[in-house]
Structure 1
Amino acid sequence: MSTIPRTTAARSRIAAVGALAVAGALVLTGCGDQTKKDGGGGSAQASGTAGGGALHDKLPQQIRDKGVLTVGSDIAYAPVEFTDKSGRTAGMDPDLGAALGKQLGVKVQFENGTFDSLVTGLRAKRYDMIMSAMTDTKDRQNGVEDGKKVGAGVDFVDYYSAGVSIYTQKGKTQGINGWGDLCGKTIVLERGTVSEDLAKSEAKKCPAGKPLKIEPFDTDQQAQVRLRSGGADAGSSDSPIAAYAVKTSGGGKDFQLVGKTVQAAPYGIAVTKGDTRLTQALGGALDAIIKNGEYRKILEKWGAQDGAVTSATINGGS
């Protein structure tokens, strides 16, 4: 993912916390409430949908026919999306997804996948859209990864703004106060994120004999476990995720933020390139929940109000 937050061909996530168990989670969200997981299927179902009308009519016919928007998401990135202690899918994105579904008159079904596989899943039509703290970048829009064309691009409906942060074990900063202090250190992060892009860029600047070692993991949670155990010097993820990890992990005793947040950029809902009907319907639904105040309430619930936007933007990333 390019040099803008959660990352290249995956997500900008800026990224997740704690020991949150994630394994093929499947969740249906409608009006915002979620029931407990059922006994055999590992899924949770919302109590129904509302809305419809003009916004519903803008949806592609196949989505109107099935009454469900299928969402690809890496459900291990608290507080944006994660599995809570009761086994439910929770977080800012599922709540926003439920609110959007309410406006569109459809259910919104979150399906779990690793972040760096989500765009591939969208291309394969496993998902109707991606909502996973994914940074809107020109490279993603154009299907470019590490400077190479790897497939069809995506269109984004931008719904939030976030940056990238570095954190360390609490009281063990080892002189790290920003990206320029990482030479000779080991950093852990989630694979396919903007954090990884930034680390790779920084590693090229390090002198011989003082390399920056980068350890990428499938999830941000795995990276946090590695740092918590002393196996690395620093971690990096999207700003709301890093802040949440610092606040909650070990009751706030495990980590601390270091340096400044960098490269603020938009999170986008990714849809298939050229799917104008779905793009416009989602943009209209986002504008509606911003206008009626539900958007702000959801962000405040998750302590994420600093990244609020005032309207939907299409492909606003750089």
Structure 2
Amino acid sequence: MKSRISPRQVLSRTLHCVAFALATHAFQAAAAPAVDIDAIKPSPSLVKMLPLEYQKPGAMLTTGVNPDVAPVKFIDDDGNLTGLIPDLVKAAAKKLGLKIDFQQTSFDALQPGLQAKRFDFILSLADFPSRQKMMTLIDYLNISETVVIKPGSTLSIQNLDSLCGLNVAIPRGTATVQMAEKLSEKCVAAGKKPIVSTTYPDTNMTLLAIGNDSSNAAWIDSPVASYNASKFPDRYKIAYSEYIAPYGVGFPNDEKGRKLAMAFQAAFLELQKDGIYAKLMQKWGLSEKDAIPGFTINGAK
């Protein structure tokens, strides 16, 4: 449901964006080690794995990305797309002799865009068995479903069942929307109040909902929850986290899509062997325990 944005909300969102940009700049300045992606050279054996039409020098692929999940994929204070997965894909593209056209879109437009062939692949979304029926996913990062609240909140979130009766903010188009609906039905069946879910266009707007008291809690993915709780401890606090699925890069399920996925998986594995994947995880402040060095295809069960 859409509502009119008040001047106070506009000011709140503006201040949030300014603070986010400053924190992002500080985060990147302190991050290490540096990785020179431009210095990566094509691997002839990897190039031969690509569909024939992409083996010519400078071949271009288009990828859709929703840049609102820092530090995995987001817009920095200079207006550039950055984060772990853009860096990882750029590095893999260098290995494959490809150029990448990153097209920004909303999360709920990723899968339709892939199916309509507007995108050659998409960055990125949780690998669920239900999604494997529609696309081929290369897993690259373990994530958890995370509940975020305001630091001064008196809420006690022991598990997801603790969300019964609360107003919960959720990013639009994510699997969490369906999870919240099923959980709400469970709440009612147990004689508890239902969850009141409110969806927002992206993760940043979802977090703002608890900042302006529109919602009691935000239900989002762990990377962006950890990032914001670390950078804005006076605004956000992680109340609960539970492993759900890995993030995956999505390719079409047709023959060409699967061949592209196999080529990118091989490129990712070379980046792992070269130590670049580990350096990128470290650069973006992501835990080694959440790494998926084998880059499993359709690994979620």
Q: Please, what TM-score do these two structures have when normalized by structure 1? A: 0.78
* Aligned counterparts of 2:192 and 2:130: Cα–Cα separation in 1: 32
Aligned pairs for 1:66-215 within 5 A: 67-132=59-124, 134-142=125-133, 153-207=134-188, 210-215=193-198
Equivalent of 1:265 in 245, 252, 261: 245
Deviation at 1:167, TM superposition (A): 0.8
* Aligned counterparts of 1:190 and 1:215: Cα–Cα separation in 2: 8
Number of aligned residue pairs: give it.
266
* Aligned counterparts of 2:175 and 2:286: Cα–Cα separation in 1: 19
1:41 aligns with: none
1:248 aligns with: 231
1:50 aligns with: 41
Q: Which amino acid aligns with 1:76?
A: D
Deviation at 1:49, TM superposition (A): 6.9
Q: Which amino acid aligns with 2:277?
A: Y
Alignment CA distance shift 1:209-1:238 (3 Å): closer
* Aligned counterparts of 1:119 and 1:54: Cα–Cα separation in 2: 30
Deviation at 1:194, TM superposition (A): 3.0
Q: Please, what TM-score do these two structures have when normalized by structure 2? A: 0.82
Deviation at 1:196, TM superposition (A): 2.1
2:270 aligns with: 288
C-alpha deviations, 1:159-209, integer Å up to 9, x for none? 221111101011204223321111221000101223323222211122367
The question of whether the paired residues in 2 share the 8 Å contact of 1:166 and 1:178 is answered with no
Mapped pair 1:222 → 2:222: no
* Aligned counterparts of 1:297 and 1:49: Cα–Cα separation in 2: 14
> Higher mean Cα deviation, 305-314 or 112-121?
305-314
Q: Identity across aligned pairs (percent)?
A: 30
Deviation at 1:264, TM superposition (A): 3.4
* Aligned counterparts of 1:121 and 1:103: Cα–Cα separation in 2: 26
Equivalent of 2:259 in 246, 253, 277: 277
Secondary structure, aligned partner of 2:93: helix
Q: Which structure has the larger Rg?
A: 2
Equivalent of 1:231 in 181, 206, 214: 214
> Higher mean Cα deviation, 210-219 or 172-181?
172-181
2:52 aligns with: 61
1:4 aligns with: none
Alignment CA distance shift 1:49-1:300 (3 Å): closer
* Aligned counterparts of 1:300 and 1:47: Cα–Cα separation in 2: 19
For structure 1, the 5+ residue unaligned runs are: 1-17, 22-31, 34-45, 143-152
Secondary structure, aligned partner of 1:85: coil
* Aligned counterparts of 2:278 and 2:231: Cα–Cα separation in 1: 22
Alignment CA distance shift 1:242-1:212 (3 Å): same
Secondary structure, aligned partner of 2:220: strand
* Aligned counterparts of 1:244 and 1:156: Cα–Cα separation in 2: 24
The question of whether the paired residues in 2 share the 8 Å contact of 1:49 and 1:106 is answered with no
Q: Which has the higher helix share?
A: 2
* Aligned counterparts of 2:206 and 2:152: Cα–Cα separation in 1: 19
Deviation at 1:47, TM superposition (A): 6.3
Q: Report runs of 4+ in structure 1 exceeding 6 Å deviation.
A: 46-49
1:311 aligns with: 294
2:10 aligns with: none
Deviation at 1:48, TM superposition (A): 8.6
* Aligned counterparts of 1:50 and 1:130: Cα–Cα separation in 2: 24
* Aligned counterparts of 1:68 and 1:236: Cα–Cα separation in 2: 36
